[in-house]
Amino acid sequence: MEIRGPVLLPARREDVELTTVDDLTLVGELALPEGREPVATLVTLHPLPTAGGFMDSHILRKAAGRLPALADLAVLRFNTRGTTSPRGTSAGTFDGGASEVFDVAAAMDFVRERGLPRPWLVGWSFGTELALKYGRDHDIEGVILLSPPLHRAAADEVAAWAGDERRMVVLVPEFDDYLRPDEARERFASVPHAHLIAVEGGKHLWVGETQTRRVLTEIVAAVNPDALPLPVEWDGPVAG
């Protein structure tokens, strides 16, 4: 069977709840490799909820559906405050990226409490702003930024990563709606170690199986390169 679209490969999937320091409950899901321990953890931060972003935004859903089986990764997805998905609605109200500092912290508290290994923050669009603004406060190996708009993350918040040894991988679509490769190179120039990848033909929403596979490949290349190349076919059972 070809691996594409919404296919769910085998994994241990668990509905979880995260509790913030301002006493909100956020709903989410943890997906773990089936029958073995993960080698690393993706803590995913979804696109802008006021524009339809949530924990099931397709790249994050496909990461959770495929990467536990294909790359031995744990994938944590959750709805930030006030965000609704089929999993449910997280308490609170969207705060434009300000109070969401507590949501990121709640996710990292969960990772620590569960003993999940080698966490990385994987942000998409609005989620990249949260990763840039707040990721340095947490015990992570690095950040992976998908389609960063750099609307809310100020220049000094980006530049603050210059003295940080943790890795930064930036995927910028050729035809992004907000930030294209040439401007992205200028705006991330303050972080000399940032690895910026201009994705030919890419668009902000990464629609289509070709773009999905490119994004998932770049994530795995950063986090667990031994798992590459990612298979495009699956011979075993599927969950859905």
Q: Taking a C-beta distance cutoff of 8 angstroms, is the pair 74, 38 a contact? A: yes
Q: Where are the domains of the chain?
A: 12-227
Q: What's domain 12-227's superfamily in CATH?
A: Alpha/Beta hydrolase fold, catalytic domain (3.40.50.1820)
Q: Can you tell me the mean pLDDT for 190-217?
A: 98
Residues 90/80, Cβ–Cβ less than 8 Å: yes
Name the band, by pLDDT with cuts 50, 70 and 90, for residue 239: confident
Q: Kindly report, residue by residue over 145-183, the tens digit of the pLDDT.
A: 999 999 999 999 999 999 899 999 999 999 999 999 999
Q: Name the pLDDT band for 193 (thresholds 50, 70, 90).
A: very high
pLDDT tens digits, residue range 111-157?
999 999 999 999 999 999 999 999 999 999 999 999 999 999 999 99
pLDDT category, 236, cuts 50, 70, 90?
confident
Bridge partners, 45 (sequence order): 123
CB 33 within 8 A of CB 74: yes
| Angle at alpha carbon of residue 8, lines to 228 and 34, rounded to 5° | 70
Sequence-ordered strand ranges (E) for 73-146 = 73-78, 84-85, 88-89, 119-124, 142-146
What's the rounded mean pLDDT across residues 202-213?
A: 98
Mean pLDDT of 82-90: 97
Residue 108 amino acid letter? M
Q: What is the mean pLDDT of residues 39-49?
A: 98
Q: Quick check: 119 and 111 in contact, CB under 8 A?
A: yes
Share of the chain above pLDDT 70, in %: 100
- The amino acid present at 78, given as its one-letter code, is F
**What is the maximal distance between C-alpha atoms in the chain?**
48
Q: Can you tell me which residue has the tokens 């769910």?
A: 8
Per-residue model confidence (pLDDT) at position 150: 98
pLDDT value at position 240?
55
pLDDT in tens, 47-76: 999 999 999 999 999 999 999 999 999 999
Question: Which residues have C-beta within 8 Å of that of residue 98, sequence separation ≥ 6?
Answer: none
Cα(83)–Cα(126) distance, integer angstroms = 13
Q: How far apart are CA 108 and CA 99, in angstroms?
A: 15
Q: What is the mean pLDDT of residues 193-202?
A: 98
Contact criterion met (CB below 8 Å) for 78 and 16: yes
Tokens of 129: 């702003």
Average pLDDT of span 15-22: 98
Kindly report the average pLDDT of the chain as a whole number: 97
What is the C-alpha to C-alpha distance for residues 207 and 37, in angstroms, rounded to an integer? 31
Q: Would you state the pLDDT for residue 139?
A: 98
